[in-house]
Chain A
């Protein structure tokens, strides 16, 4: 979706929803339920289609914007299952996906000061004041050899991150050191914009991206490495819209770099005890960026590692409940319920470790699962770092 798309432009798309509810479940013949909100409520209104019909109702003046719409729209956790399934809504211009229509709805509610959730309201106030979470940067020690701005590659680290995620970034730097890649660590100030986009803070996003214009045009064309899939997706897809030349944003997820290094023998795998793992597909890494195989191939590269799939995997995967990280705080009960359901599915596999490749997923699972189970959750880079020399 173009960042300047307006809600009235999606009137045609919204009016074509068939109410078929197929946006809530996965591929035949398993037909696994995928939409967390719909699983919880089991009413049409609490489905992507239901929210789209509410947008249609607003555009056709069948109802007024109210704060009741706010919670419902933010309870959509942004897992993108519907985006991946529905092939009706994007056909007419402006070719939007269901969650993009829901974001446009949020934006209209934000414009009208109709946010009902206290956490999101506070976030909006802060963003308005400080402009995309101010100048916050990640608080980790950057090795000296990763401070050279002229390096060939850039490791992009988001500044707006929840406390507790530092460990993942530190480990990622260690892995990169082992690979010996000539990389410059760019610590973004505040937000890249992904969370503002998801929350419908479009006015603030516009200001943020204008401020970042110089940076955007500086990094375009360079090889950018990402750890957080949310940042990766937003930078590659939406910063691109702010590029003033015909250069393309280029980027890879760190898992792709590590796998290449292992295959090219730039790093060596250690011999470790046998372990059974299961991989949780982060929604944005999978559905957003289409990266399903690399993390699996990476995990399976190590001798003694057995990978067992959860019943819902790849395109049919189920969210951890974190959304972009904000849902876990805005709707903790709901998010934890989603995470617990997913963790139960992991337990059904009989695996020892649940691996994920998104800092928000790890944080969400750690929060929702019982204390004695917390050590079972690992980030992909932590898992890899333990296994390479």
Chain B
């Protein structure tokens, strides 16, 4: 039996190597092990092969063979993963897209770019910067990929006005079918990627939030935006989240900012972690205080309101922000004041909003505090204030080992709903505590759903999250059956069984 398995593995290795070139296929123990886990709490599962495709055709050939032998496939766009959504199945194949990393087109006329899955944010934002353009930038590290991030419905720098960055896709199915979505589907010698919707159902949407379970994307067009004559960030301090939300709702409703984010004080203080003395890193002691009670002089929330456009409009917008801040119980703060409150945040936000890219390491330092565990709730603006109180109190009850408790929050889609991501850092070796956090998060989702009709933002390797959706899940299963009848696409996350 064991011999048979080994023979089968070897034969698949040879067949894939013959099909796409042996230099693109690895099965050394060191390679397999290093791909077996990541920084999430997902369990270690060692693949049998790691494949590095260089083209859509490579992907197609691998999928046909894997589908024939019913071998699970997990895709890594760049491999940064804190949610455990791309840990391979035991003995499965990993498709690592890091060698498909071309920026194929930056269309400044229409405002989109066509990219391969392995393109990382740092390269993409730099390329756009040279053309006077910017893209949606998340709080993920600069080494993460736009495609991997955007397909999850991102929560970054432009989400309140420009909610959905994905336009058209090139997709490969397990049977080898390759199809295009949106305007890219039209049989033209001059295929264009500028349009997502209509005149038929939106198949790009089908692939979004599918976590690699419905098809493998090998090319995509994403929305990009001009940097405009000027960009500014208006800073407003609040003593409570309710007032901050009121401010955000008001300015977004008036179409003032390109984007707003409400930062919790313990989150923006993580930017002050310093490694100037490596042997004794500076970790702000405030990070371990009661999350409800910031020390004097540290605003509970700071709202960054990004303004972009002609200077005349921005001058007027800043006046509006000041007026609304006063009305909402907040106060405008200057960059100099922010420097005093949190020099790290001042440094990072300038890069994030004014240079339109992730600060090199400022975003990442906080991950050194412990294992990251996030909970994301989406609610209507009137409800999100209660959700924040409830979530913060519930997470706080998990005890001192779950610190700091950070969050950020922002309006999606012009404030139709509010996004709230809360995250904590814990001892990565304390499995009991990690499990407790996981269970608490599940309970929190159930509670906010019952009480406020709030919803989770992302799947969390908890099959019940999708099973409870009844008719929706039944339809999804039928679609899955049609596209991936053998369930070889990322089965490890348990979305379909």
Contact = CB atoms under 8 A, between A and B. Distances in A.
Interface stretch (A19-27, A222-230, A261-269, A363-371): A19-27
A31 interface: yes
Nearest to A92: B368
A144 interface: no
A64 to B, nearest CB: 9
Contact of B368 (A31, A45, A66, A91): A91
B96 interface: yes
Given A31-B122, A87-B365, A22 B30 contact: no
B52 A20 contact: no
A16 B370 contact: yes
Contacts of A50: 34
Contacts of A72: 30
B296 interface: no
A92 B275 CA distance: 11
Given A21-B143, A63-B33, A16 B360 contact: no
Given A86-B361, A87-B368, A88-B367, A22 B29 contact: no
Interface in A1-37: 11-13, 15-22, 25, 27-31
B371 A22 contact: no
Contact of A57 (B33, B125, B278, B428): B33
A219 B214 CA distance: 68
A90 interface: yes
B361 A22 contact: yes
A15 B371 contact: yes
A28 B125 contact: yes
B357 A43 contact: no
22 contacts: A15-B428, A15-B429, A16-B428, A18-B39, A18-B364, A18-B367, A19-B38, A19-B80, A28-B125, A28-B142, A29-B357, A30-B126, A31-B123, A43-B31, A45-B35, A53-B33, A53-B34, A57-B33, A66-B29, A87-B273, A88-B365, A90-B275
B129 A29 contact: yes
Given A18-B364, A91-B275, A95-B278, 19 more contacts: A12-B429, A16-B370, A18-B143, A20-B143, A28-B357, A28-B358, A29-B122, A31-B123, A45-B30, A50-B34, A57-B33, A57-B44, A63-B29, A63-B33, A87-B273, A88-B364, A88-B367, A95-B281, A97-B278
A11 B428 CA distance: 9
A365 B30 CA distance: 31
Interface residues of A, number: 43
Contacts of A92: 368-370
B251 interface: no
B81 interface: yes
A51 to B, nearest CB: 8
A44 interface: yes
Nearest to A100: B278
Contacts of B360: 22, 27-28, 85
B31 A45 contact: yes
Contacts of A95: 278-281
Interface in A80-96: 85-92, 95
B78 interface: yes
A190 B368 CA distance: 39
Nearest to B31: A45
**Interface secondary structure of A, over-half rule:** loop
A18 B141 contact: yes
A16 B37 CA distance: 11
A25 B122 contact: yes
Contacts of B129: 29
**Interface secondary structure of B, over-half rule:** loop
A21 B78 contact: yes
B247 to A, nearest CB: 31
B82 interface: yes
A361 interface: no
- Nearest 6 CB-CB pairs, A to B? A91-B368, A29-B126, A20-B143, A20-B141, A87-B361, A22-B143
Contacts of B49: none
A92 B279 CA distance: 10
Contacts of A69: 30
Contacts of B427: 12
Interface in A276-296: none
B477 interface: no
Contacts of B99: 42
Interface in B45-85: 46, 50, 52, 78-82
Contacts of B273: 87, 91
Nearest to B35: A44
A150 interface: no
A88 B77 CA distance: 22
A62 B367 CA distance: 23
B114 interface: no
A109 interface: no
Contacts of B130: 29
Contacts of B52: 42-43
B160 to A, nearest CB: 25
Which residue among B31, B82, B129 has the maximum number of chain A CB atoms within 10 Å of its CB? Answer: B31
Contacts of A87: 273, 275, 361, 364-365, 368
Contact of A22 (B98, B125, B142, B429): B142
Interface in B219-273: 273
B126 A31 contact: yes
A20 B364 contact: yes
A90 B280 CA distance: 9
B456 interface: no
B99 to A, nearest CB: 6
B46 to A, nearest CB: 8
Contact of B50 (A16, A20, A43, A85): A43
Contacts of B18: none
Contact of B34 (A28, A45, A66, A86): A45
A118 B39 CA distance: 35
Given A42-B99, A95-B278, A62 B36 contact: yes
A60 interface: yes
A344 B30 CA distance: 32
Nearest to A61: B44
A43 B36 CA distance: 14
A57 B275 contact: no
Interface string B364-382: 1101111100000000000
A68 interface: yes
Contact of B79 (A19, A27, A42): A19
A328 to B, nearest CB: 24
Given A18-B80, A29-B129, A43-B96, A90 B36 contact: no
B120 A15 contact: no
A30 B127 CA distance: 9
B21 to A, nearest CB: 14
A154 interface: no
Contacts of A57: 33-34, 36-37, 44
B26 interface: yes
B39 A19 contact: yes
A172 interface: no
A54 interface: yes
B406 interface: no
Interface string B117-138: 0001011011001100000000
Nearest to B279: A95
B298 interface: no
A62 B45 CA distance: 9
Given A18-B364, A30-B126, A88-B364, A43 B26 contact: yes
